[in-house]
Structure 1
Amino acid sequence: MHRAPGLSVRLKLTLSYAGFLMLAGFLLLAAVWIFVLRHLPDYTSVPGGVLVRSTLLHDFASAAGAVLVFLLMFGLVGGWILAGRMLAPLTRITDATRMATTGSLSHRIRLPGRRDEFRALADVFDGMLERLEAHVAEQRRFAANASHELRTPLAISKALLDVARTDPDHDTGQVIERLHAVNTRAIDLTEALLVLSRADQRSFTREHVDLSLLAEEAAETLLPLAEKRGVTIETSGDITPAVGSQALLLQLTMNLVQNAIVHNLPEQGAVWVNTSVRPTTAVLTVENTGEKLTPQLVSTLTAPFQRGTERIHTDQAGVGLGLAIVKTITQAHDGTLTLTPRPAGGIRVTVELPTTAPHPGALPRRPAAGRSRSPV
């Protein structure tokens, strides 16, 4: 916004201090005039002669003028100094803001002293800068990883096309099959990035959602994959109302169940999907058998393009955004995501979302149930 130049806050405070001091001096002199000098007789006998009232008033007026001039100068100088001292923290905050606008987010104000309005503002601003710096760093890492992940299928496609062009006798069917697989991976990655962006911007409509129905749908949809990998899926839980985007929460549930199926034991693996209601939250828990994971590794699995040890070479390895999408969708719904390694191997993922009482008829009723789905 373009603004016309005006007086500085320091000058305004200086004039205010000086004006207030002048007003106080004027009122004090007026009180002396009204309550003392006004009631003096015309002539007053004093040791050594007679004091004339008009002469006394003239001398008082001259002295009062000199006092007011002194108060004006004192108020301007003192007010300027005091205003500068009071506004010094604001100057530091302004300098830090100016540096932040140029892209320098590592600077911190760190005002010393006890807490007051300026220091509270500085602390809030420091916290904002810290979050912005972390967010920007995360976005840069994400952009670099996304560029790398997108470049890989494109480079593979180019190499396959170059081979087909330079070697006419090469098996065309094999080239097409590999191009199809690479293209599918690029499409999956692009769609995952779009879901991640949509969830991060919170550009969705909130509605009443039953997490137990989403868990059932995800298990039914992914049952063929579980059968192919010899994994048993078991779902349980009663009606679990939450508020959010049904499409995004279904994507969250699908990602968790698919990860639990893919990152499991080579055979006779198991996945448990449970929904429950706590006093203030709706809870979705997905637990699976698998290799033993350390807490350090588990804490990194929600980072974009992060995959567990020896998982990148397996089929259905995904694009490395499954848990990153789960984390973003959970945060967009003001929920919490907890990843805990199981002592026997595998991982337990818990998603807690805000709950609300559903309107009558908003959610279908069904009895509590537990269903086990085994490979055919």
Structure 2
Amino acid sequence: MDRPARSARLKLTLSYAGFLVVAGTLLLAVIWVFVLRWLPTSDPRSLQETFGAVIIVGPNRADLLRGFAPAAATALAFLLTFGLLGGWLLAGRMLAPLTRITDAARMAGNGSLSHRIRMKDRQDEFRELSDAFDSMLEQLESHVAEQQRFAANASHELRTPLAISRTLLDVAREDPTRNPGELVERLHAVNTRAIDLTEALLLLSRGDRANLTRESVDLSLVAEEAAETLLPLAERRRITLDVTGGAARTSGSAELLLRMATNLVQNAIVHNLAAGGTVTVHTEAHGGTSVLRVENSGRRLPPELLPTLTEPFRRGTERVRTDEHAGVGLGLAIVHSIVRAHDGTLDLAPRPAGGLLVTVRLPGTP
């Protein structure tokens, strides 16, 4: 890449030298005015006539001008030379951190996000800039790694139903006498799973964009609708589903917030005890924050499992679930994406007796 015609270092050098020359010129001007004020114009006898016996012996203005002008020119030339050399050195030392930041930015532009500036020898604005740049690189590296893992997992998950469909079709082609009803039923199940996965991926992408059409939403109504939709599933699994609390209004997408609540309640039902479990959905408004809590019984969860539950395609293999409504491994990832798009927080905590407590906090509205 071509360098600019006039670098910042050259501009600082010229500015520093120019400042010295201007300051020196003003100083010499002050000296000259002072001299003109107190030296005689031509003959000291003119002062004798005015002040009596006072006689000033020394050079007059003409003599001073002949001696002062070359000395002033020499002083200004020295100031200019000193300003250029000193300004060049000082500007280079001051701008040295920018060189490190530029090199790091160029490496990041070439795809190397692991490089860090780590400017520890300064405590100034350049240090703040380098720390902010390092933080940005760290977030970019984490985001890129997360996207790469997500793309690899999504490709794997989408490949599975397609491979199963191809196998079923190959079997049907090689065995024309096979019952077509069974083949159609299995293909329908596989195709349904592929569609569910694709819709979940699209919803996850939509939640990450965060450019939502916002409206006033009551989380208590959202929770009741989600619970009503999933009540048949809870009854089949003999799980008690309760909705408690009061109004909790927030601003956001009603569709996405409903999907968030539905995913949380469905996870609480599926990842529960085989029978006799409980799921409690609670909403409340507290201190300018609207809160949605979903608590379910179940087996005890190891602490190291919790941070992975919101990652895509992490189904929580340690948690009890059945094949029905097992999902595609994007339930809590979608929840996390929706909460983040609504400027909220998502907290996961294990219950001492077993199971999980999920708390969603969103900005409240009057």
TM value normalised by structure 1: 0.89
C-alpha deviations, 1:52-95, integer Å up to 9, x for none?
64333212111111111111111111111111111111221122
Give the deviation of 1:98 after TM superposition.
1.4
Give the deviation of 1:51 after TM superposition.
4.5
Matching residue of 1:363: none
Structure 1's 52 and 131: CA in aligned 2 closer, same or farther, altered over 3 A? Answer: same
1:86 matches 2:106: no
Matching residue of 1:210: 218
Matched letter for residue 142 of structure 1: F
Structure index of larger Rg: 2
Matching residue of 1:10: 9
Separation in 2 of the partners of 1:50 and 1:3? 61
Asked whether the 8 Å contact 1:105–1:130 carries over to 2, the reply is: yes
Matching residue of 2:268: 260
Asked whether the 8 Å contact 1:44–1:53 carries over to 2, the reply is: no
Matching residue of 2:28: 29
Matching residue of 2:323: 314
C-alpha deviations, 1:293-340, integer Å up to 9, x for none?
111112211110001226576221100000000111111111111111
Matched letter for residue 32 of structure 1: I
Matching residue of 1:372: none
Matching residue of 1:128: 136
Matches within 5 A, 1:12-91: 12-37=11-36, 39-41=38-40, 42=42, 51=59, 53-91=61-99
Asked whether the 8 Å contact 1:262–1:316 carries over to 2, the reply is: yes
Give the deviation of 1:162 after TM superposition.
0.9
Give the deviation of 1:170 after TM superposition.
2.1
Asked whether the 8 Å contact 1:43–1:51 carries over to 2, the reply is: no
Structure 1's 52 and 342: CA in aligned 2 closer, same or farther, altered over 3 A? Answer: closer
Matches within 5 A, 1:272-287: 272-287=280-295
Matching residue of 2:307: 299
Matching residue of 1:370: none
Separation in 2 of the partners of 1:4 and 1:86? 19
Asked whether the 8 Å contact 1:275–1:285 carries over to 2, the reply is: yes
Match for residue 187 of structure 2 among 179, 182, 188:
179
Give the deviation of 1:287 after TM superposition.
0.9
Matched letter for residue 325 of structure 1: I
When structure 1 is superposed on structure 2, of 4-13 and 62-71 the one drifting more is: 4-13
Asked whether the 8 Å contact 2:260–2:338 carries over to 1, the reply is: yes
Separation in 2 of the partners of 1:13 and 1:119? 20
Secondary structure of the equivalent of 1:222? Answer: helix
Matches within 5 A, 1:115-264: 115-264=123-272
C-alpha deviations, 1:192-241, integer Å up to 9, x for none?
01111111001321111111111111111111111222212111111111
Separation in 2 of the partners of 1:84 and 1:317? 63
Secondary structure of the equivalent of 2:308? Answer: coil
TM value normalised by structure 2: 0.92
Percent of residue pairs bearing the same amino acid type = 65
Separation in 1 of the partners of 2:33 and 2:362? 74
1:354 matches 2:366: no
Gaps of 5+ in 2: 46-56
Matching residue of 2:52: none
Separation in 1 of the partners of 2:44 and 2:200? 100
Asked whether the 8 Å contact 2:270–2:322 carries over to 1, the reply is: no
Gaps of 5+ in 1: 358-376
Separation in 1 of the partners of 2:61 and 2:212? 86
Matched letter for residue 141 of structure 2: E
Structure 1's 313 and 170: CA in aligned 2 closer, same or farther, altered over 3 A? Answer: farther
Asked whether the 8 Å contact 1:44–1:51 carries over to 2, the reply is: no
Separation in 1 of the partners of 2:322 and 2:81? 81
Separation in 1 of the partners of 2:142 and 2:306? 20
What number of residue pairs does the alignment pair up?
A: 353
Give the deviation of 1:50 after TM superposition.
7.0
Give the deviation of 1:37 after TM superposition.
4.8
Structure 1's 125 and 44: CA in aligned 2 closer, same or farther, altered over 3 A? Answer: farther
Separation in 1 of the partners of 2:250 and 2:347? 18
C-alpha deviations, 1:176-198, integer Å up to 9, x for none?
11111111111001100111111
